[in-house]
Amino acid sequence: MRLTRRIAFATVAGFAFAAAIAPASADDTLKVGLLATFEGAFAVLGEDSQRGAELALMQHDGMAGGQKIEWVIGSSDASPDSAIRAVRKLVEQDGVKIVIGPLSGDEGLAVKDYAKTQPDVVFVNGTSAAQDTTLRDPAENFFRFTTDGAQWMAGLGTYAYDTKGYRNVATVAEDYSFPYTQVFGFMAEFCNAGGHVPSKAWVPIGTKDYSSVIAGIPADIDAVYVALGGADGVNFLTQYEQAGGTAPLIGGSITVDQSVLGSKGRQKDYVIGTPSAGPIADTWDDPRWTAFVDAYKATYPDGFPSPSLFAHGYYVNTMAVLLALDAINGDLSDGGTKLREALAGLEFDTPTGKVSLDKNRNAVADIFVTEVAEGDDGNLYNKVVEVKEAVNQTLGQSEDEFLKLGVVGRDNPSCP
């Protein structure tokens, strides 16, 4: 299916667009690595990320910089080791000069470090949202046009405290860098507003039995903040409902994403009204978003009722690569220097608003505070409560002050 409606518009500082330059042969083919989680608990997330990347390329007529784009797929299971094995094959065996990915937080930290050993290869994020992939010790050839997990929480802590009236919240999250970043972002606002988090539970990716975790949730809390994705999110929500859990939920971004909301089961009714925040909102009525949703649903009728944040993230990062390649006429003969410069100066409209990069090559973009609601079709969606515009990685603080908050982790921050 060929889609000709363009959603993205871009300006690249210092570069003329390809139309002003002698085009390369349309017979040329450029191989681009696509790294995502097609194995393990996050496999369903990887499948939708591939849909997003494919949709971006289809809307770009399958080409960029005068060359046909050919995907070379790298598969991981969300672990750093598997991501490195996959990306090393893409770069060192398949010979790609551009990699889009990875999907998960610890993977992003590992790929960032690997990128430093491959200065002539350009790495553009998928949806990996660990904070320190870009905030501390970044790689000059790693770009993230999607925001990090703390940015995704902008507005949620204040909303939970002021609007929902929650004062004491327990957290349940997977035990790796992305959930650390999400909990950090939520608590930064919630604790500053006067809230308390007396209990934190960290679980391995792929946990099947949450009975001991659920039993350990204090009885006197107002809500449970849950940062679990994919099969982990579905398993926890199902078991919490079966155990008779009564405390309302606050959702991490991937806990109320379509990759969880689109699943079937009794837990569907339980999550209605759950507040969350993240890079997308299913019911946003902006024409850029509705055009993206329509294109996704037309192209992938067997996909989710609305594109997941993983489809969105890979779509945005793929569009960035395609637009930058157009700007330099696909010329990678200089070890990717022109491509890196084009990406660093790129600012463009996405389905969720304008995105640009900061000095660490991390996105500045809009974030959505949402609540889960049932649509007329019986499916669950995240409805917009508030749009936080142009959220940067330091959440409005100076970088020096933000860095003083310390590295995110199991115990940072703390407000018992």
pLDDT digits (tens, 9 = 90+) for 371-410: 999 999 999 999 999 999 999 999 999 999 999 999 999 9
- Residue with the two structure tokens 């107002």: 222
pLDDT tens digits along 219-239? 999 999 999 999 999 999 999
Q: Which helix (H) or strand (E) holds 391?
A: strand 380-391
Strands 98-100 and 122-124, by their bridges, are parallel
Q: Using an 8 Å Cβ cutoff, are 175 and 229 in contact? A: no
Cis before residue 102, ω within 30 degrees of 0? yes
Bridge partners of 349, per DSSP, are 354
User: What is the average per-residue pLDDT within 251-275?
Assistant: 87
Give phi and psi for 414, each to the nearest 5.
-140, 130
Question: For residue 299, what pLDDT is reported?
Answer: 98
Q: Using an 8 Å Cβ cutoff, are 345 and 13 in contact? A: yes
Which of the residue ranges 39-48, 217-226, 232-241, 266-275 would you say has the lowest mean pLDDT? Answer: 266-275
Question: For residue 27, what pLDDT is reported?
Answer: 57
The average confidence (pLDDT) of the chain is 93
Spans of all domains in the chain = 10-147+285-365, 151-284+367-403
The DSSP code for 116 is T
Q: What is the CATH number of domain 10-147+285-365?
A: 3.40.50.2300
Fold of domain 151-284+367-403: Rossmann fold (3.40.50)
pLDDT tens digits along 351-377? 999 999 999 999 999 999 999 999 999
**What angle is formed at CA 74 by the lines to CA 73 and CA 80, rounded to 5 degrees?**
160
User: Is pLDDT of 24 > 70?
Assistant: no
User: Is pLDDT of 8 > 80?
Assistant: no
Six token digits for residue 61 = 């007529």
Q: Is 144 helix (H, G, I), strand (E, B) or coil?
A: strand
pLDDT tens digits along 313-348? 999 999 999 999 999 999 999 999 999 999 999 999
User: Is pLDDT of 15 > 80?
Assistant: no
Quick one: angle between helices 177-193 and 105-115, nearest 10? Answer: 120
Compute the distance between CA of residue 334 and CA of residue 369 in angstroms, rounded to an integer.
43
Six token digits for residue 153 = 């929480």
Task: Please enumerate in sequence order all residues whose Cβ is within 8 A of that of 105, keeping only pairs 6 or more positions apart, or say none.
Answer: 128, 129, 130, 133, 149, 176, 177, 178, 179, 180, 181
- Residue with the two structure tokens 């957290």: 171
Q: CATH topology of 10-147+285-365 equal to that of 151-284+367-403?
A: yes
Six token digits for residue 401 = 């002050």
Cis before residue 198, ω within 30 degrees of 0? no
Percent over 90 (pLDDT), the chain: 91
User: Could you report how far apart the first and last alpha carbons of the chain are, in Å?
Assistant: 54
Question: For residue 20, what pLDDT is reported?
Answer: 31
**Model pTM?**
0.92
The DSSP code for 20 is G
Compute the distance between CA of residue 210 and CA of residue 398 in angstroms, rounded to an integer.
39
Residue 112 half-sphere exposure toward CB, CA atoms < 13 A? 27
